[in-house]
Amino acid sequence: QPPNFQGEGNSLLRRDYCRAKGGAPGFKVAILGAAGGIGQPLGLLMKMNPLVSVLHLYDVVNTPGVTADISHMDTGAVVRGFLGPSQLESALTGIDLVIIPAGVPRKPGMTRDDLFNINAGIVKTLSEGIAKCCPNAIVNLISNPVNSTVAVAAEVFKKAGTYDPKRLFGVTMLDVVRANTFVAEVLGLDPREVDVPVVGGHAGVTILPLLSQVKPPSSFTVEEIEYLTTRIQDGGTEVVQAKGGGGSATLSMAYSAVKFADACLRGLRGDAGVVECAFVASEVTELPFFSTKVRLGRTGAEEIYQLGPLNEYERIGLEKAKKELAESIQKGISFIRK
């Protein structure tokens, strides 16, 4: 047995992967890019999630070590590692939720768009695997630029005849998490009490926090609105610069990815009232994809909420966001159609 197949085939073990697969309640989750800066803490946190019965960790490097390490945690999920393209199909077969943080991160001076060529190719390959092995899985796409990679995945699924717009999500949760934190600091509240809708997309001006809709209802000065909007939009760059060439947000991203994945799993389980922001196929604007609040259920995105009333500042922001988003989405579509 390869060392990353935890315990499978060992007759001394009364509980092995095969039994857990059939017996344990919960969902089967795969992380693609599991050995990376986001992937490792994401694997750790998903291993702690009681809704997960089986956790597949796939990467092109280092999964045996990460899998051995995480598999020693005494939580319920059974962990199994997969290394390299020849094991991608095994990693994906039977999976309910696929989380994708595979790809290169930004260095100082780079925009998310600078990552496009490498990451779009990676997302294409992984999406082809999903279309073949788990076409009904919910997909949480983290690889940047999210504004383009979601369109890449959608085009791959359309080509394969498996596209279900309700099941494909670009993960923008980190923008919401940052917005909640920064707004709570300004208001002097506990971030857990604050809910800031962040709409649009996941890059620069496409990240549009709706401060007029903050809960609990709050008013902000013009200076506060400027400060908060800029800080939320540039939150990723703040981390990239602080890491000085060491990559982009990984720990707060892993936390955010788990927050969103957990919401997807609660939706799949049939919980009522699970609502989060995500970048999805949408008719809220004229664009094919847009991030707004979404109600998650057994079939994925079951309801997509409208933007609600915007103030003048937000209406101007929305126009800027849509202009950039249209180009980014088109870039993703062209990558597959060309």
For residue 64, is the peptide bond before it cis, meaning its omega torsion is within 30 degrees of 0?
no
Cβ nearer to ligand NAI, comparing 26 with 33: 33
Phi, psi of 171 (to 5 degrees): -85, 110
Residue showing the smallest CB distance to ligand NAI in the complex: 36
SS3 content of the chain, % helix, strand, coil (to 5): 50, 20, 35
At CA 165, angle to CA 174 and CA 303, rounded to 5? Answer: 70
| Structure tokens, 13 | 């073990």
Which position among 10, 13, 15, 61 is part of the footprint of ligand NAI (CB under 6 A)?
Answer: 61
Min. distance of Cβ 47 from ligand NAI in angstroms? Answer: 17
User: Radius of gyration (Cα) for the chain, nearest Å?
Assistant: 20
Q: Which of residues 163-202 bind ligand NAI (CB under 6 A)?
A: 171, 174, 202
Compute CA 17 distance to the chain's CA centroid, rounded to the nearest angstrom. Answer: 26
Q: Are strands 300-304 and 289-297 parallel, antiparallel or unpaired?
A: antiparallel
Cβ nearer to ligand NAI, comparing 33 with 81: 33
| Structure tokens, 188 | 């002097």
Q: Left, alpha or beta for 171 (phi > 0: left; psi -120 to 50: alpha)?
A: beta
**Nearest in space to 145 (alpha carbons), one of 165, 119, 125:** 119
Residue tagged 């009364």 (tokens): 14
Min. distance of Cβ 31 from ligand NAI in angstroms? Answer: 9
Residue 280 CB-density burial (10 A; 0-12 exposed, 13-18 middle, 19+ buried):
buried
Cβ nearer to ligand NAI, comparing 104 with 310: 104
Residue tagged 């982009």 (tokens): 248
| Residues with catalytic function | 202
Min. distance of Cβ 204 from ligand NAI in angstroms? Answer: 13
At CA 337, angle to CA 144 and CA 201, rounded to 5? Answer: 30
Q: Which residues are annotated as a binding site for NAD(+)?
A: 33-39, 59, 119, 142-144, 253
Query: How far is residue 211's CA from residue 1's CA, in Å, rounded to a whole number?
Result: 54
Q: Which residues are annotated as a binding site for substrate?
A: 106, 112, 144, 178
Which position among 37, 43, 267, 332 is part of the footprint of ligand NAI (CB under 6 A)?
Answer: 37
Q: Which of residues 114-143 bind ligand NAI (CB under 6 A)?
A: 115, 119, 122, 125-126, 142-143
Min. distance of Cβ 154 from ligand NAI in angstroms? Answer: 16
Q: Which residues are annotated as a binding site?
A: 33-39, 59, 106, 112, 119, 142-144, 178, 253
Stretch that binds ligand NAI, among 16-24, 184-192, 248-256, 268-276 (CB under 6 A): 248-256
Cβ nearer to ligand NAI, comparing 126 with 318: 126
Cβ nearer to ligand NAI, comparing 20 with 294: 294
Say how many residues touch ligand NAI, by CB under 6 A: 33
Cβ nearer to ligand NAI, comparing 20 with 239: 239
Which position among 101, 129, 300, 317 is part of the footprint of ligand NAI (CB under 6 A)?
Answer: 101
235 in contact with ligand NAI (CB under 6 A): no
| Structure tokens, 3 | 């060392």
Q: Which of residues 266-325 bind ligand NAI (CB under 6 A)?
A: none
Binding site for ligand NAI (CB under 6 A): 32-33, 35-39, 59-61, 101-106, 115, 119, 122, 125-126, 142-144, 146, 171, 174, 202, 247-250, 253
